[in-house]
Amino acid sequence: EGLEATLSQFARIYAGTALLVLFLALLLARSLVARALEPLEWVARKAEAMSARPEPLPEPETEDEVAALVKALNGMLSRLQEAFEAQTRFLQDASHELRTPLTAILGHVGYLLRRTPLTEAQRESLEVVKREAERMGKLVSDLLDLSQSGTWRIEPVPVRVLDLLEEVKEEFAKSFEGEIRVEAPEGLYVRGDPDRLHQVLANLVSNALKAGARRVWLRAFDLGDKAVVRVEDDGEGIPEEHLPHLFERFYRVDKARDRERGGSGLGLAIAKAILEAHGGEIWAESEVGKGSAFSFSLPASGPPPPPR
């Protein structure tokens, strides 16, 4: 019995020691794996934090696999940057080159429509030429705007949201037979470029009118550190499957109809680029037959300092 008791006690001690050693080994292995993965996690964090125009990653002084990975990533980033810059130069050059002939076409068509006797068929043909040239001119301007979006210098100033909404309302009220309502807190300010923000709102209201809206609401909400501006309409609405793609370049919900309305498919992409340059974001909600709502957020601001 004494021998059995001794063996049993030894077995328990052995099992406990084995479990302790196994536990310590697991802790050590976990620590070693975590330490080994730290450089890769650092690379992953840097990659996730990259902007639209990323900077090269700092290259480690070591000559291990992580250093080789960073060098490969930097090489890829350099090639992507060169391709992006080449694309931007092409868009800018093409846009500038197209403006001159379009201006000439519109000038001559305008002269013919104003100064020469025309048959009804001739006038209709010239009106088509004028309309298409104007649409092409808008597309060229949008392309140039979008190609320069990464180099915009946004000089933010305090902008009173209520004034901004009222300005956009006045711009469309003269030609719109429906109703545009404005609802915004009196003392709500955002930091931004007034002209660029006006451009965003005008695009959203224009889209609402093209969608057959009879009523448009321009609303703003104070959320403390940021403001949310919302453009709602009672137009035809947008099918749900199109919502994730609305802010992509050249994306049209109904290509034939949008072309007839003069849309380039770039307005929302430009609006998104403008808002991102301001540190904001934009999103859309819609239901077919009930209307759409486009909302965007901007950093809030205090009022401008009083003049001295």
Distance from C-alpha of 294 to C-alpha of 125, rounded to nearest angstrom = 37
pLDDT in tens, the chain (308 residues): 666 777 777 888 888 888 888 888 888 888 877 776 676 676 677 666 665 556 677 776 677 777 787 788 888 878 887 887 787 777 778 777 888 888 999 999 999 999 999 999 999 999 989 988 887 887 787 777 777 666 667 788 999 999 999 999 998 988 888 999 999 999 999 999 998 899 899 999 999 999 999 999 999 999 999 999 999 999 999 999 999 999 988 888 875 555 555 566 788 998 998 999 899 999 999 999 999 999 999 999 988 887 66
How far separated are the first and last CA of the chain, in Å rounded? 101
Tens digit of each residue's pLDDT (9 = 90 or more) over 46-71 = 666 665 556 677 776 677 777 787 78
**Strand partners for 231:** 218, 294
Tell whether 169 and 269 lie within a shared domain: yes
Q: Is 216 exposed, middle or buried (0-12, 13-18, 19+ CB in 10 A)?
A: buried
Closest CA to 52 of 281, 276, 282, 283: 276
Backbone torsions φ then ψ of 66, nearest 5 degrees:
-65, -40
What number of other Cβ atoms are within 10 A of residue 102's Cβ?
16
Note the pLDDT of residue 250: 80
Note the pLDDT of residue 284: 97
The model carries a pTM of 0.64
DSSP readout, 150-219?
GG-----EEEEHHHHHHHHHHHHHTT--SEEEEE--TT-EEEE-HHHHHHHHHHHHHHHHHTT-SEEEEE
Tell whether 145 and 168 lie within a shared domain: no
- Cβ atoms of 196 and 279 within 8 Å: the answer is no
What CATH number is associated with residue 233?
Answer: 3.30.565.10
- Cβ atoms of 244 and 221 within 8 Å: the answer is no
Note the pLDDT of residue 134: 84
Q: Which of 100, 131, 150 is the last residue of a domain?
A: 150
Residue 43 maps to a domain: no
Range of the domain at 296: 156-301
Tokens 């696999």 label which residue? 65
Tell whether 134 and 261 lie within a shared domain: no
What CATH number is associated with residue 89?
Answer: 1.10.287.130
Length reported for the chain: 308
Note the pLDDT of residue 109: 93
Q: For 106, what's the count of Cα atoms within 13 Å in the CB-facing half-sphere?
A: 14
- For residue 63, give both structure tokens: 């000559």
